[in-house]
Amino acid sequence: MNASLRLRAAIVSVALFLAFIGIWHIATRGTGAVGNMSPEYAKLMGLTATAGKSAMPGPLDVGAKLWEHLKQPFYDNGPNDKGLGIQLGYSIARVALGYLLAVIVAIPLGFLIGMSPLMNKALDPFIQVLKPISPLAWMPLALYTIKDSGLSAIFVIFICSVWPMLLNTAFGVAAVRKEWIDVARTLEVGTVRRAFTVILPAAAPTILTGMRISIGIAWLVIVAAEMLVGGTGIGYFVWNEWNNLSITNVIIAILTIGVVGMLLDQILARFTRLVTFPE
Amino acid sequence: MTDKFISIEAIAKRYPGASGGEIAVFENLWLSMARGEFGCVIGHSGCGKTTVLNILAGLDEPSEGAVIVDGQAIEGTSLDRAVIFQSHALLPWRTVLGNVAYAVTSKWRDWDRARVKAHAQTFIDLVGLTGSEHKRPSELSGGMKQRVGIARALSITPKIMLMDEPFSALDALTRGTLQDEVRRICLTTGQTAFMITHDVDEAIYLADKIFLMTNGPGAVLAEIVENPLPKDRGRTDLHRHPYYYAVRNHIVDFLVSRSKTFAADVPGHDPRNVPVVRIGVSEPTIVAAPRAIETHPAQTIAR
Ligand SMILES: Nc1ncnc2c1ncn2[C@@H]1O[C@H](COP(=O)(O)OP(=O)(O)OP(=O)(O)O)[C@@H](O)[C@H]1O
Ligand SMILES: [Mg+2]
């Protein structure tokens, strides 16, 4: 029953995919030569106008280009022509660094907020104001103070991934069942040991949920941040290819962004499953 | 023998009321127990039994008064006072062995792994869970979970066991076996135990003294009933004992009618000298002042 459901879902998925490719292919197919057009205009517009060819690449174009990229992901022909793998590598490295910094800050701070009602109340106004600020709004300030575009991007990743982790950690820690805390208290377990042996395992699923939300946001934001700061990264790649009017490459970049985002999410989902306990 | 191993002295617990003032769950409550005694508290829901137990455990603080254990006022929780929680309160991410070992390492920090494991295993065996050491709480039945809770409490060899309705969530059969086990363990180790229950038969089977509390708010400890049944009583032939119905009826009468009207019926009730009730063949009688605690029950019961 379960297996058959999965099989049927897979069949529907494949069918939808093929239908999508088919429609895409038909929609971007050339419509034949177009007559009587001023030669000047025809020259300006290129094949798009003269051969009736759509400016939108078809699936076959994208497939061919993608194959090219996959064959040679790490080439480096100067600042404006780097392999897709290198650009992705830059983005992932920035996300990893900013995210790691956020973990280092958010989890201890979340513990503090969750365990101390005083700190909870004291820090609440700051969090309430800082949380809704779009991470990109920090960019000019970051560029001005840090004076390095790469580091600024990392800072923006840090600031956008810190909030979900902080709030989830604080919530998870504060919501640990009172009876588990009472067990630790009756056993005279000290604060530090209690934090590691009771609160951390009890709050871990909630904390990891926050980390999973954060990695998703970080991956969303890195593309925008790199479009702004330029230089390297998948976001810069998208922008650069747009300037080159290479829609094929833009589509490929979009596709890779999606796949990498999914992989990051899956990794965190796996960790979440590891720390989840049945009750 | 006026040994007051546990002495609750004039404790009160108040919560802020809905309309500004304070609501007292109880005021000026006194209660004492000798070493090795088994005490059961019976009273209606909401009268403050859990509050008393939590104060005794150190998990809660009284608004007023003090608790003296073994000659010393308690401050907070202690490894000397183990709690068996109603909801078992096992750590779900740890195995049975892990849960018991957690308590053992908390008491003896410098023990090595093997020693902790061996010690924990002894108590897992004691409650009859041999073979389930590596199961997680989610894989256990309610009764088995409660056994782990008992093993965990016993493993730290406490001076006092505090139990808040430990068996109320269990079916009758499991409850019976666990009662037997608790009684056996308490008798062999001379454990002092304080237990809350709603089950009159459980109290008669387990307790040496049964504390009757009136309804809250403003609950008082109304009477202390001495258990007239012999030490070697069995759970299944409890009702055959000549005093069984007398003591049972006395408690049930209290719960059904007197617990509501006690304050009005007994205006001069002295919370410091709570009457001790000794059940005789004829009618239950109040044997005057608390001095009665000092005489040995068996002597007065003898026909
Ligand atoms: N945090 C609190 N704030 C206000 N009132 C409280 C609080 N905790 C407990 N109470 C009140 O204290 C009284 C005693 O509660 P307690 O849990 O000790 O009752 P209990 O005798 O154990 O009842 P039960 O048999 O149902 O377990 C109750 O009337 C309850 O409403
Ligand atoms: Mg209770």
Please indicate whether residue B25, judged by its CB atom, sits closer than 6 Å to ligand 1: yes
Facing residues of B221 across strands? Answer: B213
Facing residues of B32 across strands? Answer: B7
Q: Show pLDDT as tens, one digit a residue, over chain A (279 residues).
A: 678 999 999 999 999 999 999 999 998 887 655 556 677 766 666 655 555 566 788 888 888 888 888 888 888 888 778 888 999 999 999 999 999 999 999 999 999 999 999 999 999 999 999 999 999 899 999 999 998 888 999 999 999 999 999 999 999 999 999 999 999 999 999 999 999 999 999 999 999 999 999 999 999 999 999 998 888 899 999 999 898 888 899 999 999 999 999 999 999 999 999 999 988
Q: What domains can be seen in chain B, in order of their start residue?
A: 6-80+159-237+259-270 (3.40.50.300), 88-157 (no CATH)
| Helix (H) or strand (E) run with residue B6 in it | strand B6-16
CB of A201 less than 8 A from some CB of B: yes
Instruction: Give A148-175 pLDDT, tens digit per residue.
Output: 888 999 999 999 999 999 999 999 999 9
Mean pLDDT of chain A: 89
**Whole-structure pTM over 0.80, yes or no?**
yes
Whole-angstrom distance, CA of residue A101 vs CA of residue A109: 12
Is B182 a residue whose pLDDT tops 50?
yes
CB of A40 less than 8 A from some CB of B: no
Q: Let me know if domain A91-236+254-274 sits in CATH 1.10.1200.10.
A: no
Chain A residues 215-244 within an 8 A CB cutoff of chain B: none
Please indicate whether residue B45, judged by its CB atom, sits closer than 6 Å to ligand 1: yes
Instruction: Give A218-247 pLDDT, tens digit per residue.
Output: 999 999 999 988 888 999 999 998 988 888
Count CB-CB contacts under 10 A for residue A17: 10
> Residue B212 is encoded by which pair of tokens?
């009757």
**Strand order in B38-42's β-sheet?**
B81-84, B160-164, B192-196, B38-42, B209-213, B221-226, B276-278, B285-286
Whole-angstrom distance, CA of residue B265 vs CA of residue B6: 29
Q: In chain B, what residues touch A183 (CB-CB under 8 Å)?
A: 85, 89, 91
> Residue A197 is encoded by which pair of tokens?
């042996």
B46 alpha carbon, closest ligand: 1
Q: Which one of A182, A197, A277 has the shortest CB-CB distance to B92?
A: A277
> Residue A55 is encoded by which pair of tokens?
């400016």
Chain B residues 258-297 within an 8 A CB cutoff of chain A: none
Instruction: Give B227-278 pLDDT, tens digit per residue.
Output: 989 888 998 888 888 889 999 999 999 999 998 888 888 888 888 888 888 8
Over residues B25-49, the mean pLDDT reads 93
- The two beta strands, B276-278 and B285-286, are antiparallel
Instruction: Please check whether residue B195 is in contact with residue B207, taking contact to mean a CB–CB distance below 8 angstroms.
Output: yes
Q: Radius of gyration of chain A from Cα atoms? A: 25
